[in-house]
Structure 1
Amino acid sequence: MEVAYKTMNKAIEYFLVFIFSLLVLDVIWQVVSRYLIGQSSSFTEEFARFALIWLAILGAAYLNGQRAHLSMDYLLRKLSPEALKKRLKIIEILMLLFALIVMVIGGGNLVYLTFILGQQSPAMGISLGFIYSIVPISGLIIIFYSIYNITRP
């Protein structure tokens, strides 16, 4: 399980860097085309929005796996080590259930409906189902990380 965890971390890290690099290049091209060429590209704003969606949702799943997500831990720090372990396992189970119900099942339904309805982005002309697919993918990643965190000592 440890090997899968480390492999997943590296893959997500590289993919997040790749998405961020594309986002930076896209914004640079937008500025260059607007001010030097005098006409902005039609796809750059839409691509930046979609890249930011992917970056935020996948980044949140990654941070969840690192236990670096935003949390208020003042009361948790007051617990004994045994009680803290138990509370962290309960929190992981709740996050797993949230990821399963809301992100995987709900997000999967959203992706399915988007493909069925044939919704496409206006400027790039790609199916919005591909854009929304990051929600169930990130839900599965959160479930993997939750199971890992529950099973580790």
Structure 2
Amino acid sequence: MRMKPLSIPRCAALTLTLCTAVGLAGCNSNPVRDVATSLGAGPRMAPTPDFVERSRPATLDYMPIGTSAPERATPARTAEEIKAAEAELDALRSRNEAAGAAAAELGNTPPPEPVRLPANSSANTSQQTRQKANSNRRP
């Protein structure tokens, strides 16, 4: 009995190998680069600038999954503190409302009376009369 070159078990093994290689390709390690760098032929790593080193913490402490958040640094307010804050905000609101009412009262002045021109004035000629007088001019 002769088996085909790629039987089912070999194909599955090849697929598994390819999937593993693709999965490892996403990792940060690159053995070819690491060997070339150690021999001096690979890319040279530039030193990290000082401001970058100072701005980054030495250890990155991440909160593990499944743990609760740490307690608050400031304690919650008591009922008396809440009532005092509400009273302070109410006083501020009443002061603002009083200032707004005073401003509205100042804005209630009546508009000024229009200027009345004398009835028989030469300055009170109609626009049509002025246009006729200007259109009859000759250069």
Work out whether the TM-score is over 0.5: no
Q: Which has the larger radius of gyration?
A: 2
Query: RCO higher in 1 or 2 (8 Å CA, sep ≥ 6)?
Result: 1
Q: TM-score if structure 2 supplies the norm length? A: 0.23
Q: Could you state the TM-score of these two structures normalised by the residue count of structure 1?
A: 0.21
